[in-house]
Structure 1
Amino acid sequence: MSLINVSKLTFAYEGSYDNIFEKVSFQIDTDWKLGFMGRNGRGKTTFLNLLLGKHEYSGTISADVQFEYFPYVVENKENHTIDVIEEIYPDYVHWELMRELSLLQVTEDVLYRPFESLSNGEQTKVLLATLFLKENRFLLIDEPTNHLDMNARKLVSEYLNSKSGFILVSHDRAFLDHCVDHILSINKTNIEIQKGNFSDWWENKQRQDQYELAENDKLKKDIKRLSKAAKRTSDWSDEVEKSKNGTRNSGSKLDKGYVGHKAAKMMKRSKSMEQRQHSAIEEKSKLLKNVESSDNLKISQLVYHKNQLAELEHISISYGDKTVCEDISFTIEQGERIALEGKNGSGKSSIIKLICGEDIPYSGTFRKGSQLKISYVSQDTSHLQGNLTDFARDQDIDESLFKAILRKLDFSRIQFEKDMSAFSGGQKKKVLIAKSLCEKAHLHIWDEPLNFIDIFSRMQIEELLLEYSPTLLFVEHDLEFCNNVATKVVKL
């Protein structure tokens, strides 16, 4: 066991007005299984990069361990998997590798296939097995669940639960609950560490929020009282100032020297009181620190003239000799929220493409309502570039509503001035979801919409879907989200 000490850490990107971290101090035990949480853009990946020594900062980070970052970048994906592993870790021991792969239910034959031929889930498992071969390292694991299906997530969470000595960035609540024993959270104004899993942290967070909100009500009353007092004091100062040139009630003239001296003393006193009152107002205004803003979002959906929007009967999809799914039957009716579930490669994306109108080779019967308007959220965000104003105009959506939704999903106003290519993965996903929510559609189709999106925003999107009940067909591997949102599950 050793400690990682972070003391008075301050960091801002060059050209930025705001510090991402300001005089942050805490300790991490290298035996912990540490879940790392925070809103998109708060600095989780930045902090991992600071640990890796990639940026200059003020303050100190001291540690007796080396850091190792996941995911690895694989340059030559056409190479056999065994060669990819050797490139990452030349000193690996074969039997130890086989032990790790066995725990992750990866068969030995994948080692002798080109790495690019492995599924996303297999690639993640192979690279995780390689990561845990390295000894005396503290592991920085950045969002390993993206593109893992539910079964793979469960397996990987069990694997991580058997390990220790890592920071895990993940936004999957069920996943975090299963494999961490501490939570490191980047809040609005500080970083804090709590013992326990996500559910323990969330319970404490809600309790703290309720306390802060109750305190905030008191503070608002105090601020109102102080503001009134400050105004009275200011008015009094003005009256004192005027009295220097006034007259006594009897009509006799004032001793202006005496009154001037007295007025100056009263003025000094009143200004001092006023300053103290304004300082108290300012101080109290800062006290509501870490309650996350999660205002309700509002959308309006088109109503279709029939209850049934689409129907699939005995649909099978094949590409050449490869059948990706067969004998799939289900209907999409107005107001339903349908989760498409299945392992990676089971045909979920192909079914979505078919419904969206792409030319997909299929057999069976597929019917879709005429003039049906669909809003689609893709997994891919790589095409996003340019500013948000131009994007809203190009997509023919209401810019004010679009930006209001992004504000409620924790976009700062400064983000509106940036190029979208500089956004984090979660922020890019939020752009696509906000666009979809702005579009007048009968049916929303979302393909893995929550990749990279923070937990607070996930909960907010859940609340929206439950409140406004848009018709939705979605693929998502976040178990909590599916359990909370889906009215129907179609398993492939």
Structure 2
Amino acid sequence: MALVSLQQVSLAFGGRPLLDEVNLQLEPGERICLLGRNGEGKSTLLRLLNGEVEADGGEIVRQKGLRCACLEQEVPAELRGTVYQVAAGGPGPVDSLHLEKVLSRLDLPAEQEFGSLSGGLKRRVLLARALAGDPELLLLDEPTNHLDIAAITRMEEILLNFPGALLFVTHDRQLVRRLATRIIELDRGRLTSWPGDYDNYLRRRDERLAAEQSGQAKFDRKLAEEEAWIRQGIKARRTRNQGRVEALRKMRRDRAARREQSGRVKMQIQDGTRSGRLVAEAKELSFTYGAEPVISGLTTTIMRGDKVGIIGPNGVGKSTLLRLLLGQLAPTAGHLRLGVNLEICYFDQQREQLDPARTVADNLAEGRDTVLINGQSRHVLGYLKDFLFTPERARSPVAILSGGEKNRLLLARLFTRPCNVLVMDEPTNDLDVETLELLEELLLDFKGTLLLVSHDRAFLDNVVTSTLVFEGQGRVVEYAGGYQDWLRQRAAAEAAGKNTEPAASTRAGERGNAAPAATGEKERQPAGLSFTEKHELAELPAKLEALEAEQEELSAALAEPDFYRRPAEEITDHQQRLQALQEKLEAAYQRWEELEEKAQAD
């Protein structure tokens, strides 16, 4: 027997219904993922299943005595007391022994005050609160928001072993792949069910949407033909078939009732001027807060075009590392060298750049009517429409926006500024999967440098080329590739009985910066730099910048349409100079790497 059954259920809050005569059955032991775009009504459906709102029509049948618990997307502001008291204060009776086991499995400090916790820890307490009553049906709304990767994987294991039924809303695609036994999608007020895994859902959904578009195009062609027929002259109307007229009227009603899929976010990153090849070079960089090392002895080089992910537990110092690498925070020890022509744009996970009292449009454009996008002036309302803000919503205060809308506004604001270094601190929270995938495509095509803090494992795997990972006591280790690559490299190092140094597999190692791999014999180190070589190394960055600037100037001249109207000798001279510059650059970079390698012995 189903735990909950929805039969022809409808619900609307003015306007078109969020739920339009939907049917759904939740069976014991199922793990169902609910997907849909932001604003489609996913959270409302969870509240309906939890009995917090009533349907406008249809029937909801619940198993008698059903124990149901819900993890909301936002932390309730009124919660007070210790972690234990908050976790024990959920619906239904709580067994103290069971509660203690839940707190232990979620690694929660029972006696600490709830109000003193970070956002991620508060979410874990709320999950403990939901699990404490041993529910038969568990409803989770974006359970991974504000959790670090370690907490997400711990939660995955708990949910995989949860004996009851589970219905969850998430943007975390890896969580969906790991947990879901069935996927349901809420789209334009209708629910569709997709048995099987996430990738099967994607394939079959695309097939359904293609078939829907084809059917609608065929319908619209037929409607256009019938409209042309009805408008024919007097002679044709005398022989008009009344049944055909009625069929046309029905087609008009069907077309008027059609709900188009909500718009797709349109985003583009404005490329700034080209930065120098070197973006940031850190040597033995350290930062200590009080007696505790936050970052200890980090050596890394970030070059133009690198896409670097930063992984670590909540509160470990990821934002501090970003500030150090950007030169916004002075290190306790070590040295940082920044490249030239850096144009930095920063996405802030705390949304502190947004003024909740001002409207969406004012937060974007500071009271102006237009914004400049890739050299073209655009009206604020038109630009915000690309990010799915209606004119009415654009004039609303930021305080009433959902989490997903606030993140879309931050992205809209971020992309009004040209940049060549993009810094994103947890950009994926509250975004729907389709917007996430579009953001991934943009970042992959971005020609500048990306520094990305994220707990979204799939997002890291799809975007970054290397990772900086906090591995305890301030130690930050660099690995090639994304999240899964880090896991494989760390596991291989541990299996080989070594420290978890990435050795030659790291991006830094490929440039000759990594420590040599541990072996039974002491590896021969190159001799240190001579005085002349040290001077040469110090002068090389400026020389490289000058060569690159000249190269760009010549390349720009060659790209001009009128250039090839010049005399043949001048064209040949330019081409030869460009080729010579390329050879000089390659030789200079090779020399730089040689000197950097020798400098490691100093």
Task: Please give the TM-score of this superposition, normalised by the length of structure 1.
Answer: 0.81
* Equivalent residues of 2:88, 2:132 under 8 A apart: no
2:112 aligns with 113
What is the identity, as a one-letter code, of the residue corresponding to 1:93? Answer: D
Aligned pair partner of 1:390 in 341, 359, 362: 362
Deviation of residue 279 (structure 1)? 4.5
Report 1:14-163 matches (<5 A): 16-59=14-57, 60-64=59-63, 65-71=66-72, 73=76, 75=78, 79-88=81-90, 91-104=93-106, 106=107, 110-163=109-162
What is the identity, as a one-letter code, of the residue corresponding to 2:7? Answer: S
Task: Confirm whether residue 428 of structure 1 aligns to residue 406 of structure 2.
Answer: yes
CA distance in 2, matches of 1:319, 1:116: 23
2:303 aligns with 333
Structure 1 range deviating more: 269-278 or 380-389: 269-278
What is the identity, as a one-letter code, of the residue corresponding to 1:301? Answer: D
**What SS is found at the alignment partner of 1:426?**
helix
Deviation of residue 358 (structure 1)? 4.1
Deviation sequence 1:23-64 (CA, Å, 0-9, x none): 223222243222121111111112222333433431132312
2:221 aligns with 224
Aligned pair partner of 1:418 in 396, 402, 419: 396
Structure 1 range deviating more: 357-366 or 37-46: 357-366
Distance 1:352 1:378, change over 3 A: same
What is the identity, as a one-letter code, of the residue corresponding to 2:76? Answer: V
Deviation of residue 84 (structure 1)? 2.9
1:256 aligns with none
CA distance in 2, matches of 1:378, 1:285: 42
2:464 aligns with 486
Flag the structure with more relative contact order, 1 or 2, with Cα contacts below 8 A and sequence separation at least 6. 1
CA distance in 1, matches of 2:469, 2:158: 25
Distance 1:281 1:100, change over 3 A: same
CA distance in 2, matches of 1:145, 1:361: 32
- Aligned pair count reads 456
Distance 1:413 1:5, change over 3 A: farther
Task: Confirm whether residue 269 of structure 1 aligns to residue 240 of structure 2.
Answer: yes
2:493 aligns with none
What is the identity, as a one-letter code, of the residue corresponding to 2:20? Answer: E
Distance 1:101 1:206, change over 3 A: same
* Equivalent residues of 2:274, 2:448 under 8 A apart: no
CA distance in 2, matches of 1:334, 1:424: 35
Deviation sequence 1:359-408 (CA, Å, 0-9, x none): 46643222334553211111123744333332232187448376556544
* Equivalent residues of 1:299, 1:437 under 8 A apart: yes
CA distance in 2, matches of 1:228, 1:86: 66
Task: Confirm whether residue 443 of structure 1 aligns to residue 421 of structure 2.
Answer: yes
Task: Confirm whether residue 10 of structure 1 aligns to residue 10 of structure 2.
Answer: yes
**What SS is found at the alignment partner of 1:132?**
helix
Deviation of residue 134 (structure 1)? 0.8
CA distance in 1, matches of 2:437, 2:379: 20
Structure 1 range deviating more: 26-35 or 118-127: 118-127
* Equivalent residues of 2:32, 2:167 under 8 A apart: yes
Distance 1:63 1:369, change over 3 A: same
Task: Please give the TM-score of this superposition, normalised by the length of structure 2.
Answer: 0.68
* Equivalent residues of 2:142, 2:430 under 8 A apart: yes
CA distance in 2, matches of 1:284, 1:470: 46
Deviation sequence 1:148-206 (CA, Å, 0-9, x none): 12222122112111113222111100011112212221113411222234333223212
* Equivalent residues of 1:407, 1:413 under 8 A apart: yes
Aligned pair partner of 2:450 in 452, 472, 488: 472
1:244 aligns with none
2:566 aligns with none
Deviation of residue 293 (structure 1)? 5.2
CA distance in 2, matches of 1:62, 1:131: 22
Deviation sequence 1:327-366 (CA, Å, 0-9, x none): 2233332222211112222211112233455446643222
- Percent identical residues: 25
CA distance in 2, matches of 1:288, 1:87: 42
CA distance in 2, matches of 1:4, 1:182: 16
* Equivalent residues of 2:99, 2:132 under 8 A apart: yes
Distance 1:11 1:435, change over 3 A: same
Structure 1 range deviating more: 128-137 or 183-192: 128-137
- RMSD across aligned C-alpha pairs, in angstroms? 3.2
* Equivalent residues of 2:18, 2:188 under 8 A apart: no
What is the identity, as a one-letter code, of the residue corresponding to 1:23? Answer: E
Task: Extract unaligned runs of 5+ from structure 2.
Answer: 471-602
What is the identity, as a one-letter code, of the residue corresponding to 1:474? Answer: L
